[in-house]
Structure 1
Amino acid sequence: MVDTHVTTLENGLERRDANFVSLTPIDFIVRAAEVYAGRTAVVYGEIRRTWAETYERVRRLASALAMHGIQPGDVISVLLPNTPAMVEAHFGIPMSGAVLSTLNTRLETSAIGFMLNHSETKAIIVDSEFLHLIGDDVLETLRPLVIVVHDEFAAAKHDAPHGVDYEQFLTEGDPAFDWVRPRDEWDPIALNYTSGTTGRPKGVVYHHRGACLAALGNILEWDMPKHPVYLWTLPMFHCNGWCFPWAIAARAGVNICLRRFDVETAWRLIRDERVTHYCGAPVVHSALADAPATWREGIRHRVSTMIAGAAPPPVVLAKIHGMGFDAIHTYGLTETYGPAAVCPPQEDWKSLTEEQTADLTARQGVRYLLQSSLAVLDPETLEPVPRDGKTIGELMFRGNMCMKGYLKDPDATAQALSDGWFRTGDIGVIMDDGYIRISDRSKDIIISGGENISSIEVENVLYRHPAIAAVAVIAMPDEKWGEVPCAFVELKEGKFLTAEEIIAHCRSFLAGYKVPKAVKFDRIPRTSTGKIQKFELRTRIEPAQASNSKPD
């Protein structure tokens, strides 16, 4: 029998301009400027700009980029800290039809160069402090338009002989520019590079639909009210700040920009600006909690915080609650636009001890409302594992908050998105209440202070030393940073090295946070086929003591 019901129902009911518009988070700033034009949008030092002023500036940016030949689909890279220009880039670049690529300012020149070349970037917006990260070879090969942001708070100011001043660049643009709406919500909006699970970063492509839903998901899961005051402790180069630049615009909130995280400054801003929300890895929360009590005197209002990165130790969550803050734990990856799972508290948790509640809150939880599925599946059969808290499987996502794929890497894309699921590579269990907890990682990634470190990349650098015969790098628990790299080293016969010499060697090739914080000279266990048994090495280490310096 032919089903005529659907045919009849759909006859003449096609999409039209009046009833279908592609989703995009760029709409959020348009509405903020229309409805809350006079409300503060950005605070940075003496700078205070309204939503109307910010909207004008991002339209100028989009217009100036178009005037300089930027075409829809071109990649524009930014090397910026959490300054007003970084907020503006999240709107102005997509408004031109281009794709925003936020680069990690903590990386070394070679990694930045790879990303710029791989993305074939057409323009770079760069803070003068980070100009030295752009190699001359990249400039000569790509010949990108270089736009330099000069900031009075920069620690160092480098010159770009052929660069254009950012503020001057904006004056070239039209404040009434008719910005480019995506022709399809599947169009790319951003390109974010992973830290490289195999030593080489992958370019994760976001679409407008996913970015829009991820931003709205943050609002819903956090119960974020209108006009929040948001402190930028989380780097905006991390998954586009977990999509919060767009979320804050949707709520017409205030972006309190913080160029570099400083505990005393953060506490001052929380008090003086009456900050209501902030995000960060466990290390950020620990630093705030461990600060002198005098720094937080005068704070009487409630503050909400979102914690993600490495799974937070229960002790960190207890510290947050001890400050009188409301903490929510989320979980996600670059490939899921940042947070895509959340651990919402249940009513019956109120009767538990603080330690029990902290342990439950440290779990990865359940899917975001706007993410279709989160499951723990057998990686071979794709069958759900029992809800017994014991049977392990792989955490997998499905939904609109999953990436388009990896740029120029169809094989990796197909592998990650096979069989209708995004495979996270994280191993975990599902509890009887349906909440998920990570128990291990199939990828040997180390998450230190919210930064992903590839153990393979560190091992490759160690192998460059002529005295080293074999190495294995694993995560070592650290009460401050969550995890830090620990290197197990076997030396060649007749060779001698100190731990300090090995660390100095690594510093010559790696960003500071990737350098091993401990070196152990020990036999490296192997299988009969020669494969290193990292699980055994993990039994040989003790948690590192909290270090005083930031691993940057």
Structure 2
Amino acid sequence: MTVNDFIRRAEQVYGERTGVVDEPQQPAPSLGEMSYAELAARARRMARAMEDLGIAEGERVAMVSHNSARLLTAFFGICGYGRILVPINFRLSPDEVSYIVEHSGARVLFVDPEVEESLAGVNAEHRFVIGEDEHLFAGSQDPTPWSAPDENATATINYTSGTTARPKGVQLTHRNLWTNALTFGLHVGVTDRDVYLHTLPMFHCNGWGMPFVTTSLGVPQVVLRKVDGAEILRRVKQHGVTLMCAAPAVIAAVLDALPDWEGEVPGRGRVRIVVAGAPPPTKTIVRVQEELGWEFIQIYGLTETSPLLTVNRTRQEWDDLSAEERAAKLVRAGAPAIGVSLSLQDGEVLARSNVCLDGYWDNPEESARCLADDWFHTGDGGVIGDDGYLTIQDRKKDVIITGGENVSSIEVEDAIFSHPDVAEVAVIGVPDEKWGETIKALVVLGEGSTLTEQELIDYVKSRLARYKAPSSVEFREVLDRTATGKLQKFKLRAPYWEGRDRQVN
């Protein structure tokens, strides 16, 4: 069970079919339309290039990239030949990217032209700007096959924000990716009649695994570099898109674009949109069904679980319900996916499955903690109903999900506290209609400080990725703490979540 199974089948069965339509508007020259045979050939040339650079099996190759045919190629050209891909969020700050490259030990680094200037100080033994590296793919000699294919070998290391200020490198094996791709494809009904739109970042848990299952079934994959609601509608119409995955913020962007859309809504009765990150409000689910005419599918999972743990898709028993009643059911995280067992321990959701990570890269203590007793400890709080459906109610670990991106509150607190005028700080997530949650900083200033809200926000943006900066700052005289000095964040969050039955949005 290795990722080569997916591209091998695509080349053999669907070789002449369009495999990928690259983003036409990007700083690197677009690769245009490539057939699956051409995609497989390019993956072989990429593997050969790594071999010529002396990158051995098991060594790491990092790529900072927006969605692109080149990143899609790397899933097969790097992972398929026994090397390890480290896909990095292009929105991270230079310090964050530098840490990941260094911590993973990546000997090769590919950088998107758009972030080349800002990442000028981030280096590896071999560094290439995407689009200026075509000489690497000019050879015709086949690569040496993976010497001993192993489904338990690490395929990717995906860095995720957690409860610590530094991101952790999630080791996902070929078996993890294989199992996730097939179960995901089965639950959402992927066939070779689909057309997939990459609205979801491919760096984000490997595009949730969709690049693998869609490749194996010969599904044309349309690359979208940047999210834009109107552009999503245009590409659905132009390419006949039937399937996409997205964070709630993407749905909001599409719905916001509807009033200015001329003509019939594209994809009505045809498109399935799979949503994760945090469930959108029920009224948004109703709008997806009624205004767009698209099927809404909810899933839940984490990077550490490849990510699919639960699926919530409308079922026959719900056919006679009103749109609002169906939405109330669909807002739950869902029922366990095939092969997933869920349990609760002191309110925390635990999972056991072939999709659970092998461990955290170079972090044995955290690996042992999260995989204690042969269960993966999600850090999320929830309840499981009599029908087996999971509802996430609170986040036991201090992670804020904003626009589908995980942000460590501790990391943001560290950045804010480094300002000389800040005496105390607590960072919490507060509900937001567009982003699900936004970041709020509760700050106690030092005596005599005249620091303003905007000055502090700008300061954080200079130190972290912009999306990690608070959208609002509230200055206070004191912050609630326990007798031992620990912040009582549940008390700090409570006023903003009043009237809601869950502490995530």
Q: Same fold (TM over 0.5)?
A: yes
- Of residues 264, 267, 277, the one that matches 1:309 is 277
Question: Residue in 1 aligned with 2:61?
Answer: 76
Question: Residue in 2 aligned with 1:167?
Answer: 134
Aligned in 2, Cα 1:296/1:276: closer, same or farther, shift over 3 Å?
farther
The one-letter amino acid of 2:10's match is: A
TM-score of the aligned structures, taking structure 1 as reference length:
0.85
For the pair 1:274 / 2:274, whether they are aligned, the reply is no
- Does 448-457 or 289-298 show the bigger shift? 289-298
Question: Residue in 2 aligned with 1:440?
Answer: 394
Count of aligned residue pairs for this structure pair: 487
The one-letter amino acid of 2:93's match is: E
Supply the distance in 1 between the matched residues of 2:110 and 2:462 (Cα, whole angstroms).
27
- Of residues 300, 316, 320, the one that matches 1:347 is 316
Cα RMSD, aligned residues only: 1.7
Supply the distance in 2 between the matched residues of 1:130 and 1:173 (Cα, whole angstroms).
30
Task: Give the C-alpha shift of residue 60 in structure 1.
Answer: 0.8
- Of residues 415, 434, 449, the one that matches 1:495 is 449
- Does 495-504 or 67-76 show the bigger shift? 495-504
For the pair 1:101 / 2:102, whether they are aligned, the reply is no
Q: 1:61-94 CA deviation, whole Å, 9 max, x = no partner?
A: 1111111101000000011111110110111011
Aligned in 2, Cα 1:409/1:311: closer, same or farther, shift over 3 Å?
same
Task: Give the C-alpha shift of residue 400 in structure 1.
Answer: 0.7
The one-letter amino acid of 2:137's match is: L
Question: Residue in 2 aligned with 1:237?
Answer: 203
The one-letter amino acid of 2:236's match is: I
Task: Give the C-alpha shift of residue 300 in structure 1.
Answer: 5.2
What SS does the corresponding residue of 2:428 show, helix, strand or coil?
A: strand
For the pair 1:524 / 2:502, whether they are aligned, the reply is no
Supply the distance in 2 between the matched residues of 1:272 and 1:407 (Cα, whole angstroms).
42
Task: Give the C-alpha shift of residue 542 in structure 1.
Answer: 6.8
- Of residues 103, 115, 124, the one that matches 2:100 is 115
- Mark the structure with the bigger radius of gyration: 1
For the pair 1:461 / 2:415, whether they are aligned, the reply is yes
Q: Where does structure 1 lack aligned partners over 5 or more consecutive residues?
A: 1-22, 151-164, 380-392, 544-552
The one-letter amino acid of 1:367's match is: P
- Does 294-303 or 94-103 show the bigger shift? 294-303
For the pair 1:149 / 2:130, whether they are aligned, the reply is yes
Alignment of 1:81-230 (within 5 A): 81-136=66-121, 138-139=122-123, 143-150=124-131, 165-174=132-141, 176-180=142-146, 182-230=148-196
Task: Give the C-alpha shift of residue 443 in structure 1.
Answer: 0.5
What SS does the corresponding residue of 2:273 show, helix, strand or coil?
A: strand
What SS does the corresponding residue of 2:116 show, helix, strand or coil?
A: helix
For the pair 1:43 / 2:21, whether they are aligned, the reply is yes
- In 1, are the aligned partners of 2:196 and 2:220 still within 8 Å (CA)? yes
- In 2, are the aligned partners of 1:228 and 1:251 still within 8 Å (CA)? no
Question: Residue in 2 aligned with 1:31?
Answer: 9
Question: Residue in 2 aligned with 1:398?
Answer: 352
Question: Residue in 1 aligned with 2:430?
Answer: 476
Q: 1:512-543 CA deviation, whole Å, 9 max, x = no partner?
A: 11111111122311122221111111123379
Alignment of 1:318-357 (within 5 A): 318-322=286-290, 323-357=292-326
The one-letter amino acid of 2:243's match is: H
Q: 1:154-204 CA deviation, whole Å, 9 max, x = no partner?
A: xxxxxxxxxxx3222101252x43532653210111100012321110010
- In 2, are the aligned partners of 1:366 and 1:374 still within 8 Å (CA)? no
Supply the distance in 1 between the matched residues of 2:262 and 2:16 (Cα, whole angstroms).
30
What SS does the corresponding residue of 1:351 show, helix, strand or coil?
A: coil
Q: Where does structure 2 lack aligned partners over 5 or more consecutive residues?
A: 25-29, 499-505
Supply the distance in 2 between the matched residues of 1:182 and 1:290 (Cα, whole angstroms).
50
Task: Give the C-alpha shift of residue 346 in structure 1.
Answer: 3.2
TM-score of the aligned structures, taking structure 2 as reference length:
0.93
Task: Give the C-alpha shift of residue 51 in structure 1.
Answer: 0.7
What SS does the corresponding residue of 1:235 show, helix, strand or coil?
A: coil
Identity of aligned residues (%): 40
Question: Residue in 1 aligned with 2:502?
Answer: none
Aligned in 2, Cα 1:168/1:296: closer, same or farther, shift over 3 Å?
farther
Alignment of 1:42-61 (within 5 A): 42-44=20-22, 45=24, 47-61=32-46
